[in-house]
Amino acid sequence: MPATRIDTRRGWIGPRRREVVEAVQRALQTGLEIPDHGCIRLVEYDDSAMIAPPGKGPSYLMVEITLFPGRSLDIKRRLYAALVEELSAFGVPASDIQTVLIEVAPVNWGLQGIPASEIGR
């Protein structure tokens, strides 16, 4: 299952932290067609600790997803669209969402004390 980190500025989410995390979870399930999710972390920064690209609003966020390689471009497109759709409910415009996929070979991902490539063998 993917590991996901959401980075954004402090203040715009308010008490809706859990709802934002759950929205990203739904997008992962819709976009990647996974039955469950891995770890999802939300990190909020003070304005002085995060510089966003020019023209981005206060709700600018980066969703960084670490996952095993092998998904098609169509699946990745579906994921990007699902993130935009889910986060729009919080007033986040598509232009304020940056998604980065980091594909890691299963041999480089440790689970249960062994490489993920050895699980189930």
Q: How many distinct structural domains can be found in the chain?
A: 1
Rounded Cα distance, 60 and 57, in Å: 6
- CATH number of the CATH domain containing 56: 3.30.429.10
Per-residue pLDDT of the chain (121 residues; tens, 9 = 90+): 899 999 999 999 999 999 999 999 999 999 999 887 779 999 999 999 999 999 999 999 999 999 999 999 999 999 999 999 999 999 999 999 999 999 999 999 898 898 888 887 7
Which residues constitute the domain of residue 110?
A: 3-118
Rounded Cα distance, 43 and 51, in Å: 14
Write down the H helix ranges in 4-66: 17-32
Structure tokens at 62: 């980066």
Whole-structure pTM value: 0.92
Say how many CA atoms lie within 13 Å of 46 toward its Cβ. Answer: 2
Total length of the chain: 121
